């Protein structure tokens, strides 16, 4: 969805450049044929060029070392995730409604035209299908069909009109008009698409007017016919599809194809205009620098990939692996195979990517053959993730670290670890304004429950949290302040979610002692709790009989 929105914006921007170039440099020239191809080319290029991407892959060898300091803390954020998604969904629905509306209107207009021509008299002459009607309409053409009321014009006027419409039909101007209309269906929200469609129609008028009048006398007579239209005579000399005031009725509604106001005056002015010097053809080349600039900004991409081979650290022979934002699905499979080859296990899930294919969210679980296991999530809304490192620490446990670099004196945020040596270097965790214990496990929080994560390092961390912030600080804010249970819970369906019971009041036991019915869980300080176990349904009744029918909460406190 985001990728399509970005495509629409890029294409609209390109079309705006083509339109501005036409208005400023080309629409006053007499290069009508060249302008036709320029305008059609602008539609095609603006629609296709944003889809063109050239990738250059640069392989960089990863350095695997186990440094001891957290001198660098990487940004790790999911701020406004839900609100952004809701906003994008609303925008997508509005866009789809607009596109469906204009597409439906376009289809109805085509049907009304077909229905109208089907009922009239058809005569084939010189490869063109003449459609005679008694209705009071202006002449127009649609592909090889030329529609007119023969009783409204003199023989001389009709000859001029038919010559004009045959040029439209022979040069297939209807294709230009239909293409422009389909473009406005997709890019209906852009004012430039509508201005561009109008410019295409006007240029086709100028082109056909010029080819219809081959002599000075014909030009004067032709201008007279155009002036008769301005003075109120209810017919138009030329009516390409949608480009005069022909009205047709379908499903009880009247559709007017185009407008005459102002257009006739412009056509008379362009008929009298002197032929533009051919040196001005160089103006068309001025679009090239804009297209080159667009491609440099959006079409050429350098992708950096780290080698998947695991090397020995300068300080140990422990394995370490890395996942970067540029990893493809195939890269992840190769890394998974490498970890398995080394005796470990790697699983990954919840992968999300940006419109350019970079990983913006991934959850990783790393497990060793000795039973060490760690799970961590790296997320960077709308952008590629920071490098995610995982492996076996110096203390023998496993770790997962998010950071933009991993060198001897530089390390990112430790988001999961099982050995004490690594845990001693973990940053301070602050959840909803409260400092969490050192053994707090961030993976106990469901990612969807997080509103924002703010990372502090160095002086900023020390100024706010004094010595506790020496290893960096991760401030986590939940969407629902009451949703997270900081205790270690067993027996619940998910850690980090509220415990719900079918009954009114569960049985509560603290260190094996049954609490009264009005006991308040909030009266126990989280810092004194070691573990919370939950029993439900049959398990609760089996152990505690009728007392456990509404569920049982077993609380074990830390011993002094």
- Residue 176: which H helix or E strand, with range? helix 173-186
How many other CB atoms are found less than 10 A from the CB of residue 125?
Answer: 10
Residue 533 predicted with pLDDT over 90: no
Tokens of 359: 């990983």
What φ, ψ does residue 418 adopt, rounded to 5°? -120, -10
Measured over the CA atoms of residue 222, residue 227, residue 228 and residue 234, the dihedral's sign is positive
305 vs 365 pLDDT, higher one: 365
The beta strand positions in 398-465, using DSSP E, are: 398-403, 413-417, 428-431, 434-435, 450-456
Closest to 67 (Cα-Cα) out of 401, 367, 459, 429: 401
184, pLDDT greater than 70:
yes
Instruction: Give, in degrees to the nearest 5, the angle at Cα 194 between 188 and 200.
Output: 135
Q: How confident is the model at residue 282 (pLDDT cuts 50, 70, 90)?
A: very high
The percent of residues above 90 in pLDDT, for the chain, comes to 25
Residue 421's pLDDT is 46
Mean pLDDT of 186-204: 94
pLDDT confidence bin for 226, thresholds 50/70/90: confident
- Centroid of chain to Cα 451: 21
3-state secondary structure 334-360: HHHHHHHHCCCEEEEEEEEECCCCCEE
Average pLDDT over residues 535-556: 83
Mean pLDDT of 261-284: 85
Q: Average of pLDDT values for 225-249?
A: 45
State the average pLDDT over residues 220-236: 59
Read off the pLDDT of residues 297-327 as tens digits, 9 standing for 90 and up.
888 876 655 544 444 344 446 677 888 888 8
Predicted local distance difference test score (pLDDT) of residue 441: 65
Mean pLDDT throughout 436-445?
A: 68
pLDDT at 119 over 50: yes
Q: Which residue has the higher pLDDT, 376 or 276?
A: 276
**Residue 104 pLDDT:** 94
pTM of the model: 0.54
List residues bridging with 531 in a β-sheet: 556
Give the pLDDT confidence of 472-525 residue by residue, as tens digits.
788 887 776 554 554 444 443 333 334 444 445 788 988 888 988 877 776 776
Q: Which of 251-260, 290-299, 325-334, 419-428 has the lowest mean pLDDT?
A: 251-260
138 band by pLDDT with thresholds 50, 70 and 90: confident
pLDDT at 232 over 60: no
Mean pLDDT lowest for which of 338-342, 352-356, 524-528?
Answer: 524-528
Region 469-474: what's the mean pLDDT? 78
Determine contact, residues 319/342, Cβ cutoff 8 Å: yes
Q: How confident is the model at residue 25 (pLDDT cuts 50, 70, 90)?
A: very high
The lowest-confidence range among 39-43, 161-165, 421-425, 553-557 is 421-425
- How far is Cα 167 from Cα 150, in angstroms, rounded to an integer? 19
**What average pLDDT does the chain have?**
76
| Residue 395 or residue 328, greater confidence | 328
Alpha-carbon distance of 239 to 257, in angstroms, equals: 9
Residue that wins the pLDDT comparison between 180 and 502: 180
The confidence score (pLDDT) of residue 412 equals: 46
Indicate the range of 102-111, 232-241, 398-407, 448-457 predicted with least confidence. 232-241
Tokens of 515: 């609490």
* H or E stretch at 197: helix 191-212
Identify the pLDDT of residue 41: 96
b/e sequence 354-364, b meaning 16+ C-beta within 10 Å:
bebbbbbbbbb
Beta carbons of 245 and 260 less than 8 angstroms apart: yes
Give CA–CA dist 110/114, Å, rounded: 6
Residue 502, beta-bridge partner list: none
Q: How distant, in Å, are the alpha carbons of 2, 86, 285, 411 from that of 82?
A: 14, 6, 46, 30
């Amino acid at each position: 969805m985001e990728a399509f929105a970005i495509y629409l914006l890029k294409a609209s921007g390109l079309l705006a450049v083509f339109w501005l170039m036409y208005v400023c440099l080309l629409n006053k020239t007499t290069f009508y044929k060249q302008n036709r191809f320029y305008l059609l080319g602008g539609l095609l290029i603006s629609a296709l060029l944003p889809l063109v991407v050239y990738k250059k892959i640069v392989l960089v060898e990863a350095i695997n070392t186990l440094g001891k300091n957290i001198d660098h803390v990487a940004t790790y954020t999911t701020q406004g995730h839900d609100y952004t998604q809701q906003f994008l969904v609303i925008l997508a629905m509005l866009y789809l409604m607009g596109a469906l509306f204009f597409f439906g209107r376009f289809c109805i207009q085509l049907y009304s035209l077909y229905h109208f021509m089907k009922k009239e008299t058809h005569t084939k002459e010189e490869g063109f299908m003449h459609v005679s009607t008694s209705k009071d309409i202006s002449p127009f053409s649609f592909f090889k069909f030329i529609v007119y009321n023969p009783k409204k014009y003199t023989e001389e006027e009709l000859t001029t009109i038919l010559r004009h419409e045959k040029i439209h039909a022979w040069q297939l101007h209807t294709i230009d008009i239909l293409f422009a209309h389909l473009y406005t269906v997709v890019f209906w929200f852009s004012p430039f698409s509508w201005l561009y469609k109008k410019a295409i129609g006007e240029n086709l008028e100028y082109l056909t007017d010029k080819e219809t009048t081959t002599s000075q006398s014909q030009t004067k007579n032709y201008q007279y016919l155009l002036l008769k239209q301005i003075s109120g005579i209810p017919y138009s000399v030329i009516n390409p599809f949608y480009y005069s005031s022909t009205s047709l009725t379908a499903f009880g509604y009247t559709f007017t194809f185009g407008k005459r106001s102002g257009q006739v005056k412009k056509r008379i002015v362009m008929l009298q205009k002197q032929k533009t010097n051919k040196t001005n053809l160089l103006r068309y080349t001025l679009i090239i620098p804009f297209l080159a600039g667009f491609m440099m900004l959006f079409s050429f991409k350098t992708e950096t990939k780290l080698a998947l081979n695991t090397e020995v650290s300068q300080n140990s022979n422990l394995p370490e692996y890395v996942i970067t934002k540029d990893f493809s699905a195939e890269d992840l499979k190769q890394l998974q195979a490498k970890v398995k080859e080394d005796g470990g296990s790697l699983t990954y899930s919840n992968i999300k990517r940006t419109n350019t294919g970079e990983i913006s969210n991934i959850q990783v679980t790393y497990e060793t053959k000795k039973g060490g296991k760690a799970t961590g999530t790296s997320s960077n809304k709308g952008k590629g993730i920071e490098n995610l490192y995982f492996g076996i620490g110096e203390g023998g446990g496993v770790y997962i670290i998010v950071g933009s670099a991993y060198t001897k004196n530089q390390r990112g945020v430790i988001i999961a670890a099982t050995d004490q040596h690594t845990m001693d270097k973990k940053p301070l965790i602050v959840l909803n304004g409260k400092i969490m214990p050192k053994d707090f496990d961030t993976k106990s929080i469901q990612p969807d429950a997080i509103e924002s994560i703010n990372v502090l390092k160095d002086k900023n961390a020390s100024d706010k949290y004094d010595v506790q912030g020496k290893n960096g600080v991760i401030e986590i804010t939940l969407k629902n302040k009451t949703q997270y249970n900081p205790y270690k819970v067993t027996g619940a369906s998910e850690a980090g979610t509220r415990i719900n019971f079918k009954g009114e009041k569960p049985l509560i036991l603290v260190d094996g002692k049954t609490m009264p019915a009005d006991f308040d869980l909030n009266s126990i300080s989280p810092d004194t709790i070691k573990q919370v176990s939950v029993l439900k349904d049959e398990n609760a009744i089996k152990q505690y009989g009728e007392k456990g029918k509404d569920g049982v909460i077993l609380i074990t406190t830390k011993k002094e």
